[in-house]
Amino acid sequence: MPCWFYEPEDLLNTPSMKDGMDEGTEARYRREGARFIIEAGTAMKLRYDTMATGVVYFHRFYMFHTFKEFPRYRLTQGSLWSPCDVIIVDWSSLFIFGWKSRRNTKKCKDIIRIAKEILPDHHFAAFGDDPKEEIMTYERILLQTIKFDLQVEHPYSYLLKYAKTFKGDKEKIQKLVQMAWTFVNDSLCTTLCLQWEPHITAVAFLYLAGRLSKSDLLDWSGKSTKNKWWESLSEDVSLDIMEDQQILLGCSRKPLHQIDKSPLTSDAEKSKDEPRAKHSKSEVREAHTTASTPPPSKSKSVTIVHDKKQPVQNQCL
Amino acid sequence: MATYQREVIEFPYCEEVSKYEKIIKIGQGTFGEVFKARHQKTRKIVALKKVLMENEKEGFPITALREIKILQLLRHENVVTLLEICRTKASAYNRYKGSIYLVFEFCEHDLAGLLSNSNVQFSLGEIKEALKQLLNGLYYIHQNKVLHRDMKTANILLTKDGRLKLADFGLARAFSFPKPGQPNRYTNRVVTLWYRPPELLLGERNYTQAIDVWGAGCIMAEMWTRSPIMQGNTEQHQLTLITHLCGSITPEVWQDVDQLELYQSLELPKGQKRKVKDRLKSYVKDQYALDLIDKLLGLDPKTRTSTDEALNHDFFWEDPMPCSLTRMLSQHTQSMYEYLAPRRRIQQNHPPSHPAPPPPRQNAATSKLGLNTASFEKTY
Ligand SMILES: Nc1ncnc2c1ncn2[C@@H]1O[C@H](COP(=O)(O)OP(=O)(O)OP(=O)(O)O)[C@@H](O)[C@H]1O
Ligand SMILES: [Mg+2]
């Protein structure tokens, strides 16, 4: 079985980096790729988790192939590779299980039509003379690379599940989940999904949201047996893991040591507007700049499955 | 056209199928060819199902993607195991699109092949064992919110050591329990006609796991009759046959049946009595067996027995108790499959196979559905 989770060292030794690409550039390509998928998915009115799946496929793909190799290998002589060529991999990621199966009346030509609509001409040119053939070729390459492993879980479902175990001020809990939800959205632009299982990410983001909003959860089901709420949710989550810079910095807008001192921020929106803390890892900071939630689509496709009175509706991509 | 700079792309997770040597073709379905094959080095025997890609205008077939996704989710001794997915060489010459094969654990027989061979005799205990395993498999997949949607004897496999496995998830899908006011709208163009339950024939699209239970009932009776019990030619004909066996379909025996789309437009014979036990008693001597078949073939899906109830039925708990199939199967060294069965059977009895590809309207439904489906299905 493939393991889709990697150690930090592995992420500094990706195929692209072995091929001479620097860390910052790879992070940028990943971020841009993820953003394309989300933008395109939003335009296609896909569900938030379908898009997230596309993004996960995309991140996994580049643990086996280099950004130089793909899609460079298909370039005609003379044209220079540009990061926007990543688009084709993106579109194929979306095509596989997002587009195709959710709305399988849609044909490959429809996705190409949308690509043409929303992409600038010089980006669309990446699809070559026969865009349909190009997408299908990539679909196949992508499927084989990801081992046809189509079961992808996301932190979203865990957030919803965990939220149900929290007791107390409904509004406060909603805000907490909403903030954590935004962090998950943001984290898609990073390699977080290659580092931590979704349930751990979910707990860590709830924890982070709690700290940022200074609202500690005081009651939850299972409290009688456990000291901390996260211990009731998952056996394998510890404070150490959650404080792991990789998780929190992957998404928080400030370094952890500043979080405690930060003025009380009651919701995600506020924290978004605050000046961003400087951090040595430039790509981390950049990720935050670009990872803002795309405008909530009006389409109903973003309604959440589990709960009718969903607090987080507008937050889901 | 793009000029490809690289000849071959590496896929660490998707090995070449050439590590297996094909021995013989054992199946041909709508969606692929099936071969018995042997691993060159380990000598392990497997079944290879080739994904048919000719005429695929939309890339990798969605049916195969669903089948793969569902099989990856399911792990149970009564569900066929998907071992891996292999490919033929991908290179510039085939535009990086070689063939794809699903590699399954190998099973010596399918139930259609066994039942069509009169040398194969099941004792009552053996029939109980087979059905128990079948219902166990169904119980498991339903627990995992998967509908099989193509129950029939050709899709039930048996290993030589007596394990029964549900196979062919090519039509399967994830389901959710319908919520009040939010009915599911699945396609009703599923299940091979002879095994199709009345609610599907009447146009129900908010169906449940009870559709697979009906199929299990047909298969159970077939363990004695040795050929499918209701061999309709058309949907109307199939409904007529069902009525002749299970009695007239009316709101008295099936609450709200008159709400179904096709209830008015199809002809439903009136005044028919339910004769399931009567018509089958010359084949099935065991009273408990008759009673269970009668319950599995309940007309109203809401009251049709569940896999759970069926497994608790006296049939499985009265003497003779279920007994291992190993001894009986060990007498048959020759594999038996529907595909390899004598032509006669295939020509005469081959059921109209899969219904035509789902009509487009299914798809609008699928996307609506997205809103209330089971969580694992969300990435569909
Ligand atoms: N693992 C296996 N071991 C042995 N035989 C198998 C195996 N899988 C499939 N077969 C044989 O191949 C036949 C076709 O396989 P399967 O039903 O999976 O394919 P299909 O193309 O989807 O068929 P259908 O048209 O009925 O949907 C089966 O009826 C069975 O006889
Ligand atoms: Mg079959």
Q: Both B100 and B113 in a single domain?
A: no
Task: Enumerate the residues of chain A whose CB falls inside 8 A of the CB of residue B61.
Answer: none
Q: Both A67 and A194 in a single domain?
A: no
Q: Which domain CATH number covers B318?
A: 1.10.510.10
Is A85:A138 a contact under the CB 8 Å cutoff? no
Q: Both A62 and A12 in a single domain?
A: yes
User: Is A261 a domain residue?
Assistant: no
Q: Both B295 and B232 in a single domain?
A: yes
Ligand nearest to the CA of B36: 1
CA-nearest residue, atom 25 of ligand 1? B29
Tokens of B290: 């008759």
Q: How many CB atoms sit inside 10 A of residue B261's CB?
A: 12
User: Is B213 a domain residue?
Assistant: yes
User: Is B4 a domain residue?
Assistant: no
Ligand nearest to the CA of B49: 1
pLDDT higher for A80 or B225?
B225
The residue-averaged pLDDT of A132-143 equals 80
| Environment class of A9 (CB within 10 Å of its CB; exposed 0-12, middle 13-18, buried 19+) | exposed
pLDDT grade for B157, boundaries at 50, 70 and 90: very high
User: Is A292 a domain residue?
Assistant: no
Q: Which residue of A has its CA nearest to B94?
A: A137
Q: Please, what sign has the CA dihedral across residues B12, B14, B18, B23?
A: positive
Q: Both A166 and A105 in a single domain?
A: no
Q: Both A238 and A159 in a single domain?
A: yes
Q: Both B242 and B259 in a single domain?
A: yes
Q: Both A106 and A19 in a single domain?
A: yes
User: Is A297 a domain residue?
Assistant: no
Task: Enumerate the residues of chain B whose CB falls inside 8 A of the CB of residue A148.
Answer: 14, 68, 72, 85
User: Is B9 a domain residue?
Assistant: no
User: Is B198 a domain residue?
Assistant: yes
Contact A75 B2 (CB under 8 A): yes
Q: Both B307 and B204 in a single domain?
A: yes
Express as a percent the part of chain A with pLDDT over 90.
9
Give the per-residue pLDDT at A198. 92
With a cut of 60, say whether residue B361 has pLDDT above it: no
Express as a percent the part of chain B with pLDDT over 90.
69
Task: Enumerate the residues of chain B whose CB falls inside 8 A of the CB of residue A137.
Answer: 95-97
Contact B375 A135 (CB under 8 A): no
Is A153:B378 a contact under the CB 8 Å cutoff? no
Is B90:A140 a contact under the CB 8 Å cutoff? yes
How many domains is chain B built from?
Answer: 2
User: Which residues on neighbouring strands pair with residue B84, listed in sequence order?
Assistant: B103
* ipTM > 0.90 (yes/no): no
pLDDT grade for B246, boundaries at 50, 70 and 90: very high
The tens digit of pLDDT for each residue in A209-249 reads: 888 877 666 666 666 666 667 666 666 666 666 666 455 55
CA angle B339, B341, B343 (to 5 degrees): 90
Q: Both A99 and A166 in a single domain?
A: no
User: Is A316 a domain residue?
Assistant: no
Place of tokens 């990697």: A6
User: Is A269 a domain residue?
Assistant: no
Q: Which domain holds residue B46?
A: 15-105
With a cut of 60, say whether residue B41 has pLDDT above it: yes
pLDDT grade for B345, boundaries at 50, 70 and 90: very low
Contact A103 B363 (CB under 8 A): yes
Q: Both A140 and A109 in a single domain?
A: yes
Q: Both A122 and A166 in a single domain?
A: no
User: Is A137 a domain residue?
Assistant: yes
Contacts of B138 (CB under 8 A, 6+ apart): B148, B166, B209, B212, B213, B216, B307
Task: Enumerate the residues of chain A whose CB falls inside 8 A of the CB of residue B90.
Answer: 140-141, 144
pLDDT grade for A274, boundaries at 50, 70 and 90: very low
Instruction: Say how many CA atoms lie within 13 Å of A138 toward its Cβ.
Output: 32
**Phi and psi, residue A142, nearest 5°:** -65, -45
Residues with CB under 5 A from ligand 2 (ion): B 29, 155, 168
pLDDT higher for B97 or B260?
B260
B214 CA → ligand 2 middle, Å: 17
In whole angstroms, give the CA distance from residue B72 to residue A74: 32
Q: Which of A304, A305, A308 would best serve as a mutation to test chain B binding (most B beta carbons within 10 A)?
A: A305
Give the per-residue pLDDT at B162. 96
B299 CA → ligand 1 middle, Å: 29
Tokens of B30: 């709508």
Of A13-17, A175-179, B5-9, B250-254, the one with minimum mean pLDDT is B5-9
Q: Both B86 and B152 in a single domain?
A: no
Q: Distance (Å) from the C-alpha of residue A246 to the closest C-alpha of chain B?
A: 26
pLDDT grade for B161, boundaries at 50, 70 and 90: very high
User: Is B268 a domain residue?
Assistant: yes
Kind of pairing, strands B164-166 and B156-158? antiparallel
Rounded to the nearest integer, the mean pLDDT of chain A is 67
Instruction: Characterize B313-336 residue by residue with b for buried, 16 or more Cβ atoms within 10 angstroms of its Cβ, and e for exposed.
Output: bebbeeeeebbebeebbeeeeebb
Q: Please, what sign has the CA dihedral across residues B215, B221, B224, B225?
A: negative
Contact A64 B58 (CB under 8 A): no
In whole angstroms, give the CA distance from residue B102 to residue B167: 12
Maximum separation of any 2 CA atoms in chain A, in Å: 68
Q: Both A136 and A93 in a single domain?
A: yes
DSSP A13-35: S-HHHHTT--HHHHHHHHHHHHH
Q: Which atom of ligand 1 is nearest to the CA of B150?
A: 27
Report which of B73, B89, B76, B83 is spatially closest to residue B18, judged by C-alpha positions: B89
Of A157-166, A305-314, B100-109, B344-353, the one with minimum mean pLDDT is A305-314
In whole angstroms, give the CA distance from residue B199 to residue B221: 20
Of A266-280, B44-58, B285-299, the one with minimum mean pLDDT is A266-280
In whole angstroms, give the CA distance from residue B240 to residue B247: 10
In whole angstroms, give the CA distance from residue B44 to residue B334: 18
Q: Both B125 and B55 in a single domain?
A: no
Tokens of B333: 């060294």
With a cut of 90, say whether residue B207 has pLDDT above it: yes
Domain limit, last residue, from A192, A222, A249: A249
| Environment class of B47 (CB within 10 Å of its CB; exposed 0-12, middle 13-18, buried 19+) | buried
Q: Both B169 and B32 in a single domain?
A: no
Q: Both A97 and A177 in a single domain?
A: no
With a cut of 50, say whether residue A93 has pLDDT above it: yes
The reply to whether omega before B183 is within 30° of 0 (cis) is no
User: Is B132 a domain residue?
Assistant: yes
Top-confidence range, A183-197, A231-245, B20-34, B319-333: B319-333
Q: Both A212 and A165 in a single domain?
A: yes
Give the per-residue pLDDT at A273. 37
Q: Is the CB of B108 under 6 A from ligand 1?
A: no
Report which of A143, A156, A216 is spatially closest to residue A185, judged by C-alpha positions: A156
Domain limit, last residue, from A249, A270, A295: A249
Q: Which domain holds residue A159?
A: 155-249
Task: Enumerate the residues of chain B whose CB falls inside 8 A of the CB of residue A49.
Answer: 378-379
In whole angstroms, give the CA distance from residue B267 to residue B337: 36
Q: Among partner residues A47, A139, A141, which is closest to B370 by beta-carbon distance?
A: A47
Q: Both B149 and B262 in a single domain?
A: yes
Q: Both B124 and B64 in a single domain?
A: no
Q: Both B34 and B115 in a single domain?
A: no
The tens digit of pLDDT for each residue in A62-75 reads: 898 887 776 533 33
How many domains is chain A built from?
Answer: 2
| Environment class of A153 (CB within 10 Å of its CB; exposed 0-12, middle 13-18, buried 19+) | buried
User: Is B10 a domain residue?
Assistant: no
Kind of pairing, strands B100-105 and B45-51? antiparallel
Q: Both B99 and B116 in a single domain?
A: no
pLDDT grade for B374, boundaries at 50, 70 and 90: very low
Q: Distance (Å) from the C-alpha of residue A226 to the closest C-alpha of chain B?
A: 27
Q: Both B71 and B126 in a single domain?
A: no
Q: Is the CB of B26 under 6 A from ligand 1?
A: yes
DSSP, collapsed to helix, strand or coil, labels residue B21 as strand
CA angle B65, B69, B75 (to 5 degrees): 145
Place of tokens 């195969």: B64
CA-nearest residue, atom 21 of ligand 1? B29
Task: Determine the straight-line distance between the first and last CA of chain A, rounded to whole angstroms.
Answer: 31
Of A122-131, B333-342, B343-352, the one with minimum mean pLDDT is B343-352
Q: Distance (Å) from the C-alpha of residue B186 to the closest C-alpha of chain A?
A: 13
pLDDT grade for A303, boundaries at 50, 70 and 90: very low
Q: Which atom of ligand 1 is nearest to the CA of B31?
A: 21
User: Is A302 a domain residue?
Assistant: no
CA-nearest residue, atom 7 of ligand 1? B47
What's the pTM?
A: 0.79
Q: Which domain CATH number covers B58?
A: 3.30.200.20
Does B270 show up as a binding residue in the annotation? Answer: no
User: Is A68 a domain residue?
Assistant: yes
Measured N-to-C along each axis, helices A23-43 and A108-118 cross at an angle, to the nearest 10 degrees, of 110
B380 CA → ligand 1 middle, Å: 24
List residues in chain B touching A: CB distance below 8 A: 1-6, 9-14, 57-60, 62, 65-66, 68-69, 72-73, 85, 87, 90, 95-97, 100, 360, 363-364, 366-367, 370-373, 375-376, 378-380
Q: Is the CB of B29 under 6 A from ligand 1?
A: yes
In whole angstroms, give the CA distance from residue B77 to residue A152: 24
Contact B96 A75 (CB under 8 A): no
The reply to whether omega before A71 is within 30° of 0 (cis) is yes
Domain limit, last residue, from B77, B105, B133: B105
Q: Which of B24, B36, B155, B354 to mutate to test the pocket of ligand 1 (most atoms within 8 A of CB)?
A: B155
DSSP B63-132: HHHHHHHHHHH---TTBPPEEEEEEPPPBGGGTT---EEEEEE--SEEHHHHHT-TT----HHHHHHHHH
Task: Enumerate the residues of chain B whose CB falls inside 8 A of the CB of residue A303.
Answer: 371
Q: Which domain CATH number covers A33?
A: 1.10.472.10
Q: Both A14 and A127 in a single domain?
A: yes
Place of tokens 């979203």: A156
